[in-house]
Structure 1
Amino acid sequence: MKAVVVTAPGGPEVLRVQEVEDPEIKDDEVLIKVEATALNGGDTVQRKGLYPPPPGSSQYLGLECSGTIEAVGKHVSRWKVGDQVCALLGGGGYAEKVAVPAGQVLPVPPGISLKDAASFPEVACTVCSTIFMMSRLSSGETLLIHGGSSGIGTFAIQIAKYRGARVLITAGSEEKLAACKDLGADVCINYKTEDFVARVKEETGGKGVDVILDSIGQAYFRQNLDSLSFDGRLFVIGTLSGPVTEIDLRVVLSKRLTIQAAGLRYRSPENKAIIVREVEDNVWPAIMAGKVKTVVYKRFPLSEAAEAHQLLESSQHIGKLLLFP
């Protein structure tokens, strides 16, 4: 099969399509013929040699995919050859075929094309496992999303609104702010021209928000604490501005704040299966009802993976970028 190979740690130019061996499936896995895969920030970090796959996962890039099942392991009962699915991966999406534990596979939502279904698993599992399963965002609460126009951001806006939350976002251009508004965001803040803490306080009557979903890390940490209400929850899913910061524990104590952080890739297959089932039970109905839609900015053939990475790292896109074999 063909796969995108990282020839050496480095920039997008190190990505090459090569012939490699087909994956072998274990008894609890399925083999998917890939229709499409979506790009994620973790792909660029792995390309640089800083984000190795979990033990036992494919060494190739790609954290999600859609496609058709070609084979099933002998312990797999739910799925059969020919099923159209999408899946959360530990790696391997940038290839023509990928083996994945059966518990990380989802049916393609009705009304969504097989190709576009690749845009859902990683963002749905990330958002569901963080702001809902761990931070317990509930109807009537307020959510602040940094990077509202990203793949995670565009999804989080829609599903949080579906679940009854009020949503505030930050983004860096008028085009991105308008796109977030169209997806349902209640308050859109241009972080380049506005103090987001002051705007959050203004929009919440001085109270602050209940939950923050943050991929920025160091640069926003103190401002995030200032933006939270009493009993607020900060969930960190990335460190784009740096991983090291200082904390004034008096702020945390006085406001009874909760600081949480988690990645998705290194969770156990059993834990990922729990998240995937939660997504199928509580997110797929929103997609089927038309309340959550795919936001795909551009599609690239596998041979243009380097160009796709350049666009991803430029942050000029809105939503997801897809690759297809």
Structure 2
Amino acid sequence: MKGLYCRAAGSDAEPKFVIQETSLPEVLGSHQVRVQVKACGLSPLDLKVLKSHTVYPVSAVVSLLCLSVFPAVGPKVSFFHPEDEVVGKKTFIYLRINTSLTIVCVCVFCFPVQKPEKLSSVCVAAALRDGLCAYTALHTHARMAAGQTVLVLDGASCFGLMCIQLASYHGVKVLTTSHSPQKHTFLEQLRPSVARVIQVYNGSSDLLPLVLEETGGLGVDIVIDSGVRLQEDKEPEETKLLPHKHDIISVLGVGGHWVTSQQELQLDPPDCRLLHLKSASVSFLNPEVWTASSAQQGRYLHILKDIVEKMSAGVLRPQPEEAVPLYEATVAMETVQRHQKKKAVVQL
């Protein structure tokens, strides 16, 4: 069996991705399953988290969202049968403790759910992570309810589009921002799912007045971002279209929820005081945290099942993604890891 491995060095050097052969046990355990992967979604690895929980040097298999077929199952596996098609989150981690004595620790997490027949493997592999992020942000963190108003920043992104569709399905009023004229045109075509599209690519800072105008001066109940600016100046070029943290806090209404993807978010005392006056809250979006506690696994499987069912019913309609063959997986993963591309799909 071939696997896509990440070799993370102890220094700040960029990780290397390689395809290696590995062997599987011939005899399955009572609760084990053997899967044949058909398509995989590649997303960036958080090497800081990986390094903080391991000892160098580290060799880790890339975390995958994949669609599989069960060629064989153990005798005590009751939820699935041979030849069932499933979709799920798979994480493999191989640790080499030191360079003299090679001690391998294998941690395997597999959370499969049944795949509807009408969904293609590439479509599910490309969209499952974004659907999981949207579900976690809106349901788990923000506790959205019908009649509320949500501001989705960069709504034309894959993650933003999932948030818009999920919120609109539950009767939430959606405001969003566009980062280019092409994205603005695309988002305007989503009406009436989107109540208003706010331009942020023309150099103006009209986010706050336009949001307050749309909400009658009350502010929004939920803000979902894809990154924020922490300073007014000396920001990289790629973050110029992102909103400033103070603008996000300002558009929040009383009792609002801000769900952020910014890992290094720093709030100054004036920002904290404004959040306190509004009795608002900040949540950090980390979709990988579902596998950190065994107590959450049942809920996690329910979320995955609900996502694929909504995709099958047409409630969630992800943007199409072109798949690459396995021999291009290393190049595709390096591109994703450098954030030159949000994600990639490998078809086997």
Aligned to 1:244: 266
Number of corresponding residues: 306
C-alpha distance in 1, partners of 2:124/2:286? Answer: 22
- 3-state DSSP of counterpart to 1:296: coil
Q: Which moved more, 1:174-183 or 1:107-116?
A: 174-183
Cα 1:152–1:33 shift into 2, 3 Å: same
Question: How much identity, in percent, do the aligned residues show?
Answer: 23
Cα 1:278–1:4 shift into 2, 3 Å: closer
Give the TM-score, by structure 2 length. 0.75
Give the TM-score, by structure 1 length. 0.80
Shift of 1:246: 2.1
Aligned to 1:321: 344
Tell me if 1:174 matches 2:181: yes
Instruction: Give the letter for the 2:199 counterpart.
Output: N
Contact persistence 1:87–1:100 (CA under 8 A): no
Aligned to 2:211: 200
Shift of 1:64: 1.0
Cα 1:237–1:91 shift into 2, 3 Å: farther
Cα 1:212–1:120 shift into 2, 3 Å: same
Instruction: Give the letter for the 2:246 counterpart.
Output: R
Equivalent residue for 1:39, pick from 39, 42, 51: 42
Aligned to 1:116: 123
Deviations 1:288-310 (A, max 9, x none): 33221232332212322344346
Aligned to 1:221: 245
- 3-state DSSP of counterpart to 2:288: coil
Contact persistence 1:150–1:320 (CA under 8 A): no
Equivalent residue for 2:156, pick from 149, 153, 160: 149
Shift of 1:209: 1.2
Cα 1:167–1:81 shift into 2, 3 Å: same
C-alpha distance in 1, partners of 2:266/2:30? Answer: 42
Shift of 1:218: 5.2
C-alpha distance in 2, partners of 1:68/1:8? Answer: 30
Cα 1:320–1:5 shift into 2, 3 Å: closer
Point out the structure with max Rg over C-alpha: 2
Tell me if 1:274 matches 2:296: no
C-alpha distance in 1, partners of 2:76/2:295? Answer: 15
C-alpha distance in 2, partners of 1:245/1:218? Answer: 11
Tell me if 1:190 matches 2:186: no
Deviations 1:74-112 (A, max 9, x none): 5431112211111023358xxxxx9643xx212213421
Cα 1:273–1:127 shift into 2, 3 Å: farther
Contact persistence 1:109–1:117 (CA under 8 A): no
Instruction: Give the letter for the 2:144 counterpart.
Output: L
Superposition map of 1:70-149 within 5 A: 70-91=71-92, 100-101=109-110, 104-149=111-156
Shift of 1:186: 3.0
Superposition map of 1:20-31 within 5 A: 20-22=22-24, 28-31=31-34
Shift of 1:125: 2.4
Aligned to 1:95: none
- 3-state DSSP of counterpart to 1:265: helix
Contact persistence 1:2–1:18 (CA under 8 A): yes
Deviations 1:252-301 (A, max 9, x none): 222121222242213324414313213424x4443233221232332212
